[in-house]
Homo-oligomer: A and B are copies of this chain.
Amino acid sequence: MPLPERELLQQLRRAVRGTNAVLGIGDDCAILRIPANHEALITTDFSIEGVHFRRGWQSAECIGHRCLVRGLSDIAAMGGCPIAAFLSLALPKNVPQRWVDRFFAGLLRLADRYGVELAGGDTSQSPGGVLADITVLGSAAKGKALRRSGARVGDRIYVTGALGESAAGLQLLTRKKIKRRDVLPQPRIAVGEWLIEERLATASIDVSDGLSTDLAHICEESGVGAIVDAAAIPVHSSARKVVNALDLALHGGEDYELVFTAPKTARIPSRIAGVDIRQIGEITSGKAVRISQNGRMHLLMSRGWEHFRQEDERRNRRR
């Protein structure tokens, strides 16, 4: 059954909840309280059907989850604590109510897990596919938020968890080896908070575009270079099953792990908040981002998920 905009708006309103931190539900804006001596962190991220997801490839719950995790992961990268999310959602007329219910269920389950209120948003008809834009508000103690710009020569580079799961799934889907796959990454909120509390990290970013691209962002903003050890990259088990596993881990995006740097002398444990931490390289002078593999050194080019998408589109066109 088609879903009129008015009903969608009412569904969003029912999903929106107020707590001590969130007032103004039903008003023109949500009213939010930022903890004393904290700064606000804000991020917005699009999830667009046909660009970021396909309804045929993932469950509605998974699409709702991934819509929110994009924003939560940005908060995690800064070491912040998420407070509230805002969802702008536009639906084409042919989207069944059941799909929308499941989309909200996936999004709200993740929100609950990280103590985030859905505090507002907007709804509209969409003339094309499903369009979602998520805004997440968080906070961090004044002056403490982790930035991309603090990496220094000699710092060690670390990554949380494992890389390549999302890209491996995407590759199998585009090559029609599988029909559906739900990948549900978790935002590394607790790791980011730990890094702020312990004051150990000099720079941090999340792996949304791919390690090669995101590490290059740290280097650009910090005015430094880097060397990554290929053998040290934690490749996700599902990526290890495909031929170009290391490429997926280096360049595949949407893993939502954190990459951070810390001084050589800092004691970074092998697990933080239950998540494996792996040292993968170090910060160098100059501007080049390089990778050492089998005793040889190469430039590590920034090839994010866009690259993969375009390659697979070309492959599909040739068929």
Contacts and interface: CB of A to CB of B under 8 A. Distances in A.
B122 A26 contact: no
Contacts of A124: 46, 48, 51-52
A90 interface: yes
Contact of A24 (B28, B31, B135, B147): B147
A129 interface: yes
Given A40-B34, A44-B133, A133-B133, A29 B78 contact: yes
Contacts of A74: 28-29
A43 interface: yes
**Copies of this chain in the oligomer:** 2
A26 B88 contact: no
Contacts of A137: 40, 42
Interface string A36-77: 000111111110111110000000000000000000011101
A14 B48 CA distance: 24
B45 A88 contact: yes
A155 B49 CA distance: 47
A88 B122 contact: no
Nearest to A135: B135
A152 interface: no
Contact of A44 (B33, B122, B128, B148): B122
B40 A32 contact: yes
Given A44-B133, A119-B42, A49 B127 contact: yes
A51 B46 CA distance: 18
B33 A133 contact: no
A221 B33 CA distance: 22
B43 A29 contact: yes
A103 interface: no
A221 B23 CA distance: 14
Contacts of A205: 28
A33 B39 contact: yes
A245 interface: no
B145 A48 contact: no
Contact of A122 (B23, B46, B80): B46
A34 B42 CA distance: 12
Which among A44, A48, A52, A221 has the greatest number of chain B C-beta atoms within 10 A?
A44
Contacts of A49: 127
19 contacts: A5-B306, A23-B39, A26-B221, A27-B78, A28-B77, A28-B148, A28-B205, A30-B41, A31-B41, A32-B41, A32-B42, A40-B40, A44-B121, A46-B122, A48-B131, A50-B127, A51-B127, A126-B128, A128-B129
Given A29-B74, A43-B86, 8 more contacts: A28-B43, A28-B77, A28-B148, A34-B40, A42-B137, A48-B90, A49-B127, A126-B128
